[in-house]
Amino acid sequence: MVICSDRTFLEYSDLACLVQGSQIIIDISGGHGGDDGRPDMRLIRYRPWATRTNAYVIVSNPVHSNTDFMGHSPWGGGSAIIRPDGSIQASRRYEKDVMIVEEIDTDQAALTEAKRRRNHPLFRSFWDTGKELLEDRKIKSIPEIKPYSSEERIIKIAAAQTACSRDLQTNTKRILSRIAQAAQEDADIVVFPELAVTGAHNDDILAASQSDLDDALGKIRNAAKTGSVYVIVGMPYYVDGKRKNCALVIGDDGSVKTQYEQIVSKQRDLFTPGESINTMWFTVKGVHSIVTIGDDADWIEIADLAANRGMYLHFHISYEADASAVDATLRKQRNLLMLRYAKYGAVVNAANPSGLEHPSEPASGISMIVSREGGHNQPTPKGIEYYLPYQTSIIKKAGASESLIYATRKTKRRNNLDLKLHFRNRDRKSRLQRGWYDWIKKGALVITEDIP
């Protein structure tokens, strides 16, 4: 077991589970806990926590009868026992002075995802250093790091939730049409789903040759240049003869700015996992950004450490279908939790393709453009789905069908979750805090592959 009282940062949540094998994570909270401000997002911090570790997560939290800064009364509560698959075994909302008594089956807490994250070659040295900290060993001092500084820009995001057919040419034409449409609306960047070029049907992915993919990519690059708009598009691509699940970022000049190869792919029969995390980085008009794909959303160390390095925009593309409304809520929570480390960004999923003549695999939509708004003890911002000041909120969202949604925000020079601000209230001169600070500094280097 591990017990903690602040689940916001890696060092207080996932570390002990990953490096010491904790099958039960207990969080004692005194604030919103599992309430999180909105009934539809209950336990947003805890259910994805269970799925990204495959451990039990237990939260114990009091109920407050007064009114919180967002105008909610009562607030707090939300105590629960959550299974390793993210489902809720038992919970209480606002009932006072109650006790939840349940038997749990620790055999279910196989820590499958925790072990995958712990042993990934790109992150192993980071978790090794964290283990040394938990064992009270002195770790290597890391030189000071200056987080990335971004340009102050007005950035308009277009999220193109497209439906995919089984025909590559048809999908490419739909992508080109959406790029032109986004350009006419003066979008700075238009984002398409994972595997938008081929669709997600295994046979279609296997049938797509390198020449087919290069031809589609060439057309997309020309459209980006013609429209003077950045484009993120998901597609399979061959690297040294190995098929990778990729997100290609194309600049407004038509050049390929980066090609990120998904590192967390569970479809080993289709895709060889990527071997570089640095390729997820790019800039949009001087604003430091990352792109992630699909199951990357369970690895919050990617976004957390990127924010410490100075990431401002985060774009996540996926091709997912939900079996139930419960699954849809859990996916929404997982995506929002990952993007909370960015100041602004989007999650773009494929639309429901059932209305097409030759539909690809089922998909559920629910794309979102998100932003971290408001602040602690500040009133709820108007016109958005707001959860808490330390969560991200939804500015615009799509349903299941094809949609092109837009949002505009002004960026600042720094993400206020970057390295220096992360530790702004801590005594970095003490041996204990200096150790944690050096660990996160190392992570900020790992995420750009400048590993010391």
For the chain, what is the mean pLDDT?
Answer: 91
198 CB-near residues (< 8 Å, 6+ apart): 164, 168, 171, 204, 205, 208, 213, 235, 236, 360
How much is the pLDDT for 38? 66
Instruction: Work out the pLDDT band at 436, boundaries 50, 70, 90.
Output: confident
How much is the pLDDT for 429? 61
Over 174-230, what HEC string results? HHHHHHHHHHHCCCCEEECCCCCCCCCCHHHHHHCCHHHHHHHHHHHHHHHHHHCCE
**pLDDT over 80 at 424, yes or no:** no
CA proximity to 283, closest of 189, 178, 186: 189
What is the domain partition of the chain in residue ranges? Answer: 1-114, 120-146+418-452, 154-410
Express each pLDDT in 236-253 by its tens digit: 999 999 999 999 999 999
Q: pTM of this prediction?
A: 0.95
- The type of residue at 119 is N
Q: Residue 56 in contact with residue 81, Cβ under 8 Å? A: yes
Answer positive or negative: Cα dihedral of 144, 424, 303, 46. Answer: positive
How much is the pLDDT for 36? 66
**Fold agreement between 1-114 and 154-410:** yes
**pLDDT over 60 at 431, yes or no:** no
Give the residue with greater pLDDT, 7 vs 231.
231
Q: Residue 261 in contact with residue 275, Cβ under 8 Å? A: yes
* Residue for token pair 């837009």: 406
Which class does domain 154-410 fall in? alpha beta
* Residue for token pair 């990204």: 52
Give the residue with greater pLDDT, 140 vs 387.
140
In angstroms, rounded to a whole number, what is the distance separating the alpha carbons of residues 438 and 112?
28
State which fold the 1-114 domain adopts.
Nitrilase/N-carbamoyl-D-aminoacid amidohydrolase (3.60.110)
In angstroms, rounded to a whole number, what is the distance separating the alpha carbons of residues 230 and 155?
11
Express each pLDDT in 308-359 by its tens digit: 999 999 999 999 999 898 899 999 999 998 999 999 999 999 999 999 999 9
- For residue 27, the SS3 value is strand
- The type of residue at 131 is K
How many CB atoms are located within 10 Å of the residue 8 CB?
A: 13
In angstroms, rounded to a whole number, what is the distance separating the alpha carbons of residues 422 and 434?
13
